[in-house]
Amino acid sequence: MSTAYQPLHHKYRPQRFDQLVGQEAIAATLGHALTSNRIAPAYLFSGPRGTGKTSSARILARSLNCLNSDGPTPEPCGTCELCTTIAAGTALDVIEIDAASNTGVDNIRELIERSRFAPVQARWKVYVVDECHMLSTAAFNALLKTLEEPPPQVVFVLATTDPQRVLPTILSRCQRFDFRRIPLDALEAHLSWIAEQEAIEIQPEAIHVVALRSQGGLRDAESLLDQLSLLPPPIEATAVWDLLGAVPEQELLQLVQAMSSAEPVALLEATRNLLDRGRDPGAVLQGLAGILRDLVLMAAAPDRPELTGVSPQFRDQLPPLAKALGRARLLQWQAQLRGSEQQLRQSVQPRLWLEVLLLGLLAEAPAAAPATSAPVTAAVPSQTAPAITPTPAVPAPSPTPSAAPATAPELPKVAPAAAEGAAPNLAELWQQILGSLELPSTRMLLSQQGQLVRLDANRAVVQVASNWMGMVQSRAALLEQAMAKALGGSRQLVLEASSGGAAPKVQPPPAAVVTPPVINTPSPTPEPTPPAQTRAAPAATPQLPEPVSQAPKPPEPKRPPANTSEPSGLDRQAKNLADFFNGQVLDMDNPEV
């Protein structure tokens, strides 16, 4: 009669503390407690799945009750009657309870009543409560007093994968041991040993992929190895990727190389090659995010390839690719990919959205190219200034000298500020900062109403139109985050108004000092409007920071205030819409417009 099949994670379950994989600190602590006979009434074993919590609870029960030892021992024999029955789960004095099936207070009361009886065969009665975080609050409260003062020769072991859901009063009554994820090297060594014991012909590259994809869980790694053993030998790494449904690293590197070429046709061919071979779009996106992370690490530390998660045979391809792309571009791609996985899951056409997303990454690369746009817009104010000076040909009374410096000096104020930010480096950095903004509305607002004028190691000075200062200040946190992404470090953000306030009044004093006695002669030159029109000046000043639309702005507000002293709600909405898009409101009934 053939014996029943035994899975690898059952067959190679550790039987002593020194056989635990990757939990040396916990094994040493519990072993010393057994040697010194300092047994706590309750233990809490917490950690990710498949890291040895339940196995450690059974080892502790065997160590307390081994018949070949006079007392607790860290090395149970594993052959006596109690050791074998505890390993098989049939011991009368070692009770394992699934808290997910026994969540009520009545189950815990029954457990407490049973714990009052003396052990039948063993020296210690051990209760193992697996997934204890599933117990109700009432069940936890019923267990409190028993955990603190249990009956003699009774030990409680609580195991959980979510210790945050365990009551603090329970945690305070237990000795807590946190099981960590098993390191990659320890996993590879243990899997190689199991493959040797089971005569499984598997390549080291395949073992590395198995250990990498198990994410520190020994049970998951052993189960995957057990599944791979059914394939015809020798087992290669590609077989592991195909079995997992993930995208191989070599194909992901080819996809990134296609993205680096900035050729849409090459990128579409590489993407459809993956999708046509059955790769899931979500798996492609996850693999791409992992490769981009590894490339960022290689760009920051080219001499530390062990920091990456790529297999050793592909690590030599990372440094040249990271150098060709650059850290700024890689970080920008990562920012664009953030949140796209949820969109793919909810979409009925994930293939289409994956292609659209990857093509959108190519559009971000040349976004930093229009660095010449800043010098062009900086020169516009100097050209629009003469266009405004001919308009004051209409004579006006002299009581408006105060209104003249409120509008005319603002034009030279914008020009020097723009000239300071007209350096190619500042303009290019400003475009990179705008590209790092996640909200399109904030990006459009700052591209039209703001510019980077000064930058040093500690501060970044951004000049903003005064009428948009409040809105930009409300989004200052987003702008600081975008600066940190684009510039590679945090800086203090300083917002300066480009018009209004005391800043425009700095330039009128030279004109007043040149001709102090003659005040009436220079006044007609900067006076563009009669007294009736000066009341419309505040409506025109918000548009002065925008250089392209300065010439047509003064005539536009002159006429409506003369006809309507109180604009209607529809007029105000139209004016706000025109201000947002840097345009103007045209009066179709007026033939002069």
Where among 131, 161, 178 does a domain terminate? Answer: 178
Q: What is the mean pLDDT of the chain?
A: 76
pLDDT for the residue 413 = 37
> Does 255 fall in a domain?
yes
- Domain extent, residue 429, equals 373-382+407-506
Q: CA 283, CA 138: separation in Å to the nearest integer?
A: 43
pLDDT for the residue 374 = 38
235, 267: one domain? no
230, 254: one domain? no
143, 41: one domain? yes
pLDDT for the residue 159 = 94
345, 276: one domain? yes
23, 135: one domain? yes
pLDDT for the residue 406 = 38
Strand order in the sheet with 459-464: 450-455, 459-464, 492-497
Q: How far is CA 369 from CA 262, 365, 390, 425, in A?
A: 14, 8, 37, 11
Residues of the chain below pLDDT 70: 1-3, 363-424, 499-569, 574, 577-593
pLDDT for the residue 488 = 76
190, 222: one domain? yes
pLDDT for the residue 164 = 92
> Does 59 fall in a domain?
yes
491, 467: one domain? yes
222 CB-near residues (< 8 Å, 6+ apart): 7, 8, 9, 12, 191, 194
326, 222: one domain? no
161 CB-near residues (< 8 Å, 6+ apart): 46, 47, 48, 49, 131, 133
The total number of structural domains in the chain stands at: 4
> Does 557 fall in a domain?
no
> Does 537 fall in a domain?
no
> Does 240 fall in a domain?
yes
Q: Read off the pLDDT of residues 307-318 as tens digits, 9 standing for 90 and up.
A: 888 888 888 888
Q: Read off the pLDDT of residues 469-502 as tens digits, 9 standing for 90 and up.
A: 888 888 888 888 888 888 877 788 888 887 543 3
124, 198: one domain? no
Q: Read off the pLDDT of residues 268-306 as tens digits, 9 standing for 90 and up.
A: 888 888 888 888 888 888 888 888 998 998 888 888 887
Verify cis geometry, omega within 30 degrees of 0, for the bond prior to 392.
Answer: no
The amino acid occupying position 112 is I
- Full-model pTM: 0.57
> Does 547 fall in a domain?
no
Angle value at C-alpha 32, between 30 and 35, nearest 5 degrees: 110
Q: What is the CATH number of the domain that holds 207?
A: 1.10.8.60
Where among 341, 367, 393 does a domain terminate? Answer: 367
> Does 116 fall in a domain?
yes
The alpha helices in 261-311, defined as continuous H runs, are 264-276, 281-300
> Does 259 fall in a domain?
yes
pLDDT for the residue 149 = 86
Q: What is the CATH number of the domain that holds 122?
A: 3.40.50.300
31, 147: one domain? yes
416, 359: one domain? no
pLDDT for the residue 588 = 60
Q: Which two tokens stand for residue 464?
A: 């903003």
Where among 367, 394, 417 does a domain terminate? Answer: 367
82, 141: one domain? yes
